[in-house]
Structure 1
């Protein structure tokens, strides 16, 4: 079981290690300008806003999450393979949007099956999830060198191979046999659960959403995701323009992932020492420094590496603190809705807006400095918003 689940996580995040850094490189090699690249990434990001919920509902209705996961991988593989033939703007955009639509079916169902299989053991889950991070690092390094040697066409072939590997691993996963009266984790509330709890009224979430502290938290998260657009979408192109090799690009990207893994390990101790708002402000401030410094340090291997280590604060600390914030802000019956509103709004809307604006500013590399200044300004504004919210309301410690 451990090997099969770990392999699935490895291949899933390996694909992220390909698409997240190198999609823009592939699109640039395909002849698209930076504005078109930003538009394509924005369209893909918008797809992520509603698709996970739709797939989760379908999984609950059918009560066959493994089938949904396998179907998602197979259709994602088919859609991704269309890149061999779709080379013009709209057909290629359609295939990538379709790929994203099906791809979002995979991780929620994999998470559900994994947690049910290991009986909610956080220790075993951490060991399995670690293979996902390793997959990202390995492919980020290999793909960078492969694309540099064989051209942007290698992007599609690597993606098809990874998706093929993932599909095989999902076929090897066996359904969890349920004992009578055992309740499993579900991606959304099951139909039976809704019926049995119909008499229990869920408290309105609107009041929680309109609290000043949450509004500040939401705006700060939105600004952070907008600020990440030059990094997530155009970083590989940025380093290529500084004449770094494909291997070097992959290694720089991996430094950030390794740093976040280390911080994730020690987040429990960090939470005991600092308040959530302090951690959020710190993360946003460090992120602002990273983006402002990026054009300045890009030609120095040493300082660029140091700048990449800052990803531990930009992502790991902020993500952990934001999840803790949501957990403490909403009641138990509001958790799912709170998560959906936050993730859909912040990651979906923020990512789409950031990608579109960055595509306009990038100007095929000539506007890279302007794009990172925009990013740094957004992160700094987010830090100010969170700092202001702290002066208005004391953050609850958790």
Structure 2
């Protein structure tokens, strides 16, 4: 066994599974408390759809700018977890601004501050997680699934609470989750860094590969496709008579399907190429957002559309991040994760959120969600033409090294 294999095995054997899982649980519990309900809080403050879209898109703007800055800083300082801990603490400080203002300018400032620091942590935690996993990268799904569990607990719990308490409870619940993220960040240990020889390719060489360009471009479009969903899904449901507990239940249904997909991803990755998984996920996204926009009057259709979240996020994200982890190896790993996050969840999410805000008051909810289907279709076509079968590291796109 080579020295690199020994080191990797040692790291994998010491996997801090529960400490990593607890961090993911709390991190995505924040998403479950914030994304579905903060838009309802903003609506209660009488902000327009455009104002809400602008404020929520700040999260995506900062995911364009901040991850690359923090990734560069982590690479040059040689540390990741101190930055993660600082970002958690400052995210809470930024969120605290919301308790003292209800003006657009004040909330804009709080969102900008919170988002700048909150967006720093996930790419760094992802690189720490993969470093701990070593040769057991297929176990990523079982760790990340706890983030989905955290999302479900938060979205259902807060939904039930909001049927009994004023909308202000959103702030207290979300602030509590942000505090728990900081506490969990203190418990996560640093991981042994990959050996330097594993990063033989330069960042520029990697980015020039056709399959890399196709993946990053398609990821940008997939996040744009989700823009209307993340900004207006809760508002759409409430406007059609759904109670807040039902809203939380529908959000949770999507994440339950996501968890199931994460748990089965190791098996799926042994039988199907990353490219094939992604093509299926993008096809499901085309169907999902059309159903959401035009079928909202039917709880059954909305529920079915939410089940497709297992493909449009769970399978999509697991396959995309596995490809990024492979193609951006060694010291490029943190930069690769940051680039993936900033282009997809950042730039793509920002575009989708702003377009949905404009469309909501002009072409209406149904056509706004249909635009999301259009973004997903464009991403599907980019993948088909840009990532040819068999392209990938060592001539393959299979995680186990085999062709298909």
| TM-score exceeds 0.5 | yes
Q: Secondary structure at the match of 1:185?
A: coil
- 2:167 is aligned to 152
- 2:219 is aligned to 221
Change (3 A) 1:303 1:103: same
1:1-398 → structure 2 map (5 Å cutoff)? 6-56=21-71, 58=73, 65-107=80-122, 129-170=144-185, 173=187, 184-185=192-193, 202-327=200-325, 329=327, 335-363=333-361, 367-389=364-386, 395=391, 396-398=396-398
Q: CA offset at residue 270 of structure 1?
A: 1.9
Q: Contact conserved, 1:239 with 1:298, CA < 8 A, in 2?
A: yes
Change (3 A) 1:48 1:278: same
Q: CA offset at residue 354 of structure 1?
A: 0.9
**What CA distance in whole angstroms lies between the structure 1 residues aligned with 2:61 and 2:364?**
24
**What CA distance in whole angstroms lies between the structure 2 residues aligned with 1:123 and 1:214?**
21
Change (3 A) 1:125 1:57: same
Q: Secondary structure at the match of 1:32?
A: coil
With 203-212 and 67-76 compared, the bigger mean Cα shift is at 203-212
**What CA distance in whole angstroms lies between the structure 2 residues aligned with 1:41 and 1:374?**
18
- Deviations 1:241-292 (CA, angstroms, capped at 9, x unpaired): 1111111111111111111111112122223333333322221111111111
Largest Rg, 1 or 2: 1
TM-score, normalised via structure 1 length:
0.82
**What CA distance in whole angstroms lies between the structure 1 residues aligned with 2:213 and 2:147?**
33
Change (3 A) 1:166 1:378: closer
TM-score, normalised via structure 2 length:
0.81
**What CA distance in whole angstroms lies between the structure 1 residues aligned with 2:270 and 2:199?**
35
Q: CA offset at residue 113 of structure 1?
A: 6.5
- Deviations 1:157-198 (CA, angstroms, capped at 9, x unpaired): 111222233344445x3867xxxxxx7238xx9xxx7xxx8x
**What CA distance in whole angstroms lies between the structure 2 residues aligned with 1:230 and 1:123?**
32
Change (3 A) 1:331 1:12: closer
Change (3 A) 1:120 1:10: farther
**What CA distance in whole angstroms lies between the structure 2 residues aligned with 1:384 and 1:139?**
36
- Deviations 1:210-254 (CA, angstroms, capped at 9, x unpaired): 444443333322221111001112111111111111111111111
**What CA distance in whole angstroms lies between the structure 2 residues aligned with 1:132 and 1:288?**
25
Change (3 A) 1:47 1:6: same
- 1:179 is aligned to none
**What CA distance in whole angstroms lies between the structure 2 residues aligned with 1:322 and 1:159?**
28
Query: Which ranges in structure 2 are unaligned for 5 or more consecutive residues?
Result: 1-15, 399-404
With 284-293 and 322-331 compared, the bigger mean Cα shift is at 322-331
Q: Secondary structure at the match of 1:268?
A: helix
- Deviations 1:62-113 (CA, angstroms, capped at 9, x unpaired): 6665544443222222211110112111221110110112223444565566
With 138-147 and 352-361 compared, the bigger mean Cα shift is at 138-147
- 2:12 is aligned to none
- Deviations 1:106-147 (CA, angstroms, capped at 9, x unpaired): 445655666777888669876654433222101101212323
Change (3 A) 1:60 1:374: closer
**What CA distance in whole angstroms lies between the structure 2 residues aligned with 1:276 and 1:345?**
19
**What CA distance in whole angstroms lies between the structure 2 residues aligned with 1:121 and 1:271?**
13
**What CA distance in whole angstroms lies between the structure 2 residues aligned with 1:308 and 1:201?**
39
Q: CA offset at residue 35 of structure 1?
A: 0.8
How many pairs were matched up? 379
Q: CA offset at residue 303 of structure 1?
A: 2.3
Q: CA offset at residue 3 of structure 1?
A: 6.0
Query: Which ranges in structure 1 are unaligned for 5 or more consecutive residues?
Result: 177-182
**What CA distance in whole angstroms lies between the structure 2 residues aligned with 1:324 and 1:115?**
10
